[in-house]
Structure 1
Amino acid sequence: MLIDTAAYASRWRGIAPSAKALFALAGVAAAWIARSPAVLAVLAALLVLSAVVGARVPPRALLAAALAPLGFLLLACLAMLAGPDRQGDWHWRLDMLPVAACTALRALAVLAALLGFVLTTPLPDLLALLRRLRVPELLLDLMALCYRMLAVLRQAWADGVEAQRARQGYRGWSQAWRSTGMLAGHMALQVWQRAAALQMAADARSYTGTLRFLPASHPRAGRQNAQAILAGTLLVALAVGDRW
Structure 2
Amino acid sequence: MLIESSAYASRWRDVAPAAKALFALAGFVAAWLARSPVAFAVLTAMLVLAALLGARVQLRSYIAVALPPLGFLLLSCLTMLFGPDANGHWNLTTTMLPTIEHLALRSFAMLAAMLGLVLTTPLPDLLALLRKLRTPELLLDLMVLCYRMLFVMRQAWDESITAQTARLGYRNWRQAWRSTGLLAGQMAIQVWQRAAALQTAADARVYQGTLRFLPAAYPQAGRQITFSVLAGALMLAIALGDRL
* Counterpart-to-counterpart distance in 2, 1:109 and 1:134: 28
- AA partner of residue 156 (structure 2): A
User: TM-score by structure 2 length?
Assistant: 0.94
Residue matched to 1:233: 233
Q: How does 1:23-172 map to 2 (within 5 A)?
A: 23-172=23-172
- AA partner of residue 233 (structure 2): T
How far is 1:205 from its partner? 1.1
Structure 1 unaligned runs (5+)? none
How far is 1:32 from its partner? 0.5
How far is 1:202 from its partner? 0.9
The one-character-per-residue Cα deviations of 1:205-228 (angstroms, maximum 9, x if unpaired) are 121221111111101112211211
Residue matched to 2:201: 201
* Counterpart-to-counterpart distance in 1, 2:141 and 2:76: 34
Given that residues 26 and 236 in structure 2 are in contact (C-alpha distance below 8 angstroms), is that contact kept between their aligned partners in structure 1? yes
- AA partner of residue 47 (structure 2): L
* Counterpart-to-counterpart distance in 2, 1:211 and 1:49: 35
Residue matched to 1:16: 16
The one-character-per-residue Cα deviations of 1:75-126 (angstroms, maximum 9, x if unpaired) are 1111122334224555432333222121111000000000000000011111
The one-character-per-residue Cα deviations of 1:35-88 (angstroms, maximum 9, x if unpaired) are 111111111111101100111111111111111100111011111223342245
- AA partner of residue 213 (structure 1): F
* Counterpart-to-counterpart distance in 2, 1:13 and 1:66: 20
The one-character-per-residue Cα deviations of 1:137-177 (angstroms, maximum 9, x if unpaired) are 22212211211111121021022122212323234444333
* Counterpart-to-counterpart distance in 1, 2:34 and 2:219: 35
User: TM-score by structure 1 length?
Assistant: 0.94
Calculate percent identity across the aligned residue pairs: 68
* Counterpart-to-counterpart distance in 1, 2:125 and 2:98: 40
- AA partner of residue 202 (structure 1): A
Count of matched residue pairs: 244
Q: How does 1:186-197 map to 2 (within 5 A)?
A: 186-197=186-197
* Counterpart-to-counterpart distance in 2, 1:84 and 1:141: 46
* Counterpart-to-counterpart distance in 2, 1:91 and 1:163: 51
* Counterpart-to-counterpart distance in 2, 1:18 and 1:230: 14
Give the 3 Å change call, closer, same or farther, for CA 191–89 of structure 1 in structure 2. Answer: same
- AA partner of residue 67 (structure 1): L
- AA partner of residue 196 (structure 1): A
